[in-house]
Structure 1
Amino acid sequence: MGNASSTLTQYDIEEVQEHCNHLFSQQEIVSLYKRFCQLDRNAKGFISADEFLSVPEFAMNPLSQRLLKMVDGLNFKDFVAFLSAFSVKASVPQKVELIFKVYDSDGNGKVTFNDILGVLQDLSGSFMSEDQREEVLSQVLQETGYKRDSTLLLDDFIKILGKPGLKMEVEVPVD
């Protein structure tokens, strides 16, 4: 499993399933491994930022630079664990935890007004002015019971976003 040219054994598959809390079937893990091997062009056993950026959908994502911090250098097990938040079987708190990590760009476990503003900047680009972004964000925080100087933790994100019906899913094609 450490070498992208090797094949997965039953033990490897079960180990990866355990690592991702059984959110993917054995067939899905085999399919993900094939995709991982395609991305790992140099068969190093991990995927670099450049290899991730070779996926057009990833490269075009306005949050790709933030996501790259999370995925650069992932081995196969961690690649599957990262993708598990997108599984239809993943819980809402698991999905929200990934969203939280996107906002928490410095990895300190806290999200500030400026952290959220940075994501909003990435998403809106030149379509909104800095003043408009700040106004919208201040209003959204106020409506959810927070202030501009509030520091949000993962539990706060779960409280705000953790409503049933959060859609954040990717279907894994099975050969």
Structure 2
Amino acid sequence: MKLDLGCGRKPRAGFIGVDMSAACSPDVLHDLRCMPWPFDDASVDEVYSGHFLEHLDGEERIAFMEELYRVLRPGGTALIVTPYWSWVGAVQDPTHKWPPIAEQSYHYFSKALREQMGVDFYPIRCDFDVSFGFSVLPQFAHLPKAELDRARAHSLNVVAELRATLVRR
């Protein structure tokens, strides 16, 4: 099973669209802030969620990740796309919640990284391996990787989207 969580009006091809808005005509009408989601434990192979997570506050993000962990099978993957924290698009939308999302936001959803950071006492149980990709604004796409990495780390409005791939351990 493949899910597009927070699909809006355009669910991803080959995925079951899940959204809280009946106006979007999703395959599954469900508010993803309400737990549990209507899927069995370890029943989902793949998840896509594009521009949804930034609409949740911190506690809702934790609950989302816990529920994502519950429904994904071991080895299952989720691609979560959000505005990058240093792009104006992350803060311009009044429906986005604080804080903007960076790579380090995902460290809290890895058991080993929670232990390394000394926050393993947080009430978070999920355990994902995470890797990242980025959508760069066109005017920076020509830069060599080293220059682009430096610009991403030290400049605003270079990266538009963060693409986090999570694998359930």
Give me the TM-score of the superposition, normalised by structure 1. Answer: 0.27
Q: Would you tell me which structure has more strand in proportion to its own residues? A: 2
Q: Would you tell me which structure has more helix in proportion to its own residues? A: 1
The structure having more radius of gyration, on CA atoms, is 1
